[in-house]
Amino acid sequence: MGINRILISLLLSIAVPLTALAADEIRFDSIAEIEVQVTEPDGTLVMVRQPAARVTPGTNVIFTNRFTNDGNEAAENLVITNPIPEQMAYLAGTARGSDSQVTFSVDGKTFAAPEKLTVTDAAGQTRPAGPGDYTHIRWQLNT
């Protein structure tokens, strides 16, 4: 079984200054896309993004998350946690977000910078976690 690699190109797009107190005032949109090459009318080849309805093993999927504050007050301590879909693996160095700290988890509970994460293998040996071990990505906005 092949594992799809995901390109997490997560852009935090705040439509208004961080303003919200209640979670229901933060609107979240997430889209999954793939890049495909198309030919323009003049014969030029360009890459365009299309919805990722179905992907084959080895296809990079670009996930874009957008967060919009629909509230009237400043948001504080905003944390967004996204699971990495099963059958997919995170592509190192691709998660980012404006004015945010990005951390990862190998168990969905504990989050840290990549260099601080470890996993225990079937033999009970601890090793540094790699991108394929990540189960979740977390963004904490710096407000």
Instruction: Give the per-residue pLDDT at 5.
Output: 41
> Edge-to-edge strand order for the sheet containing 136-141?
79-83, 136-141, 100-105
Instruction: Give the per-residue pLDDT at 1.
Output: 36
Could you give the angle at the alpha carbon of 30 between the alpha carbons of 28 and 35, nearest 5°?
A: 155
Give the span between the Cα atoms of 93 and 130, in whole angstroms: 11
Instruction: Give the per-residue pLDDT at 72.
Output: 86
Residue 1 carries which side chain, given as an amino acid letter?
Answer: M
Instruction: Give the per-residue pLDDT at 23.
Output: 52
How many residues are present in the chain? Answer: 143
**Tokens encoding 71:** 């509230």
Q: How many CA atoms lie within 13 A of 126 on its CB side?
A: 4
3-state secondary structure of 32: strand
3-state secondary structure of 76: coil
Per-10-residue mean pLDDT of the chain, 143 residues long, equals 40 36 70 94 96 89 86 82 90 89 96 96 94 94 76
Name which of 67, 66, 70, 65 is nearest 21 in CA terms. Answer: 70
Whole-angstrom distance between the N-terminal and C-terminal Cα of the chain? 42
Instruction: Give the per-residue pLDDT at 4.
Output: 41
Instruction: Give the per-residue pLDDT at 74.
Output: 75
Instruction: Give the per-residue pLDDT at 129.
Output: 96
Q: What is the pTM (predicted TM-score) of this model?
A: 0.74
Instruction: Give the per-residue pLDDT at 143.
Output: 66
